[in-house]
Every structure is written in C-alpha cells, then in structure tokens.
Amino acid sequence: MKVLLVSPDPRSRELMRLVVRGIERRIAEPIRFLEATNGDEGVRIALRERPDAIVADELASRAGAFSLARTVRDRPDPYDGVIVVLLARPQDAWLARWSGADAWFAPPVDPFQLTDRLMELVDRRAAKETA
C-alpha cells in the first residue's frame, strides 16, 4: 500500500506517518510512504505514483489540501484513491466536502478515529475494485 503525506511541517508528516502506520497490521502488508511539502508537489506525486491514499494537512503551503483534492479529482483521468484532509478549523468542513475529500478531521485529531476511518475507506475502495 502506498500513502502520500502532504504537509509543509516535517513534524506533522512524521505524526501522520505514525498514525497511518497503525493500519499496517490490519492490512498485513507494509506501507510505502511518499511525501510532499505542499499541494502542488502533492498533485504531481499523486498523479505520477497513484497512491492508495492521500493524507493532507489543510495548511499545506501554496496550494493546500483542498486545492490538491479538487485538482486530482477533476482531471480527465481522476484520482480514485482515498483522500483525507486534516483541517485547521472545524468551519472548513464544507471546503473539504467541496474538494472531493473522502474524510476530514478538525483539531484535535483523534489518531484512533483517523486510523479507523482510513481503514474503512481503504477497505471500501478495495471491495469496489473487486466487485
């Protein structure tokens, strides 16, 4: 499984990695992490690498998580993986919905809820592919 982590803050990316790594045992395979420091870089990596999931910090500098999600979803060959956005404030949930994100979390993010929701979305996507 490949997961793209997007945040300008190395510490945030490391925390994302620790949380996402929580699903490794459940999927019984190692997770390969890709990283981007902003939304523009995230778009390029997502379209080239086609990760299974993207976890993006809304505060990603330049083009943020909302722009990233909207850009990869609106392409002629849309990204069909899971997109999770970490919001800066709860009021931005409507932007996450508009962007095409599958899930979003407002601070403080509960790592267990994030892990469970990501696993649910990945499972749902896998079931859709085999149907």
CATH at residue 108: 3.40.50.2300
Q: Where does 1-40 show beta strands of DSSP type E?
A: 2-6, 32-36
Omega within 30 of 0 (cis) for the link into 108: yes
Structural domain including 92 reads 2-130
Quote the number of domains for the chain: 1
Give the mean pLDDT of the chain: 93
Share of the chain above pLDDT 90, in %: 82
pTM of the predicted structure, to 2 decimals:
0.94
Inform me whether the pLDDT recorded for 93 exceeds 70: yes
Tell me the per-residue pLDDT of 26-79, one tens digit each, with 9 for 90 and over: 889 999 999 999 999 999 999 999 999 999 998 756 678 999 999 999 999 999
With a pLDDT cut of 70, the percent of the chain lying above it is 98
Mean pLDDT of 5-16: 94
Q: Given this model, what pLDDT does residue 130 score?
A: 83
Q: How many angstroms separate the CA atoms of 6 and 61, rounded? A: 10
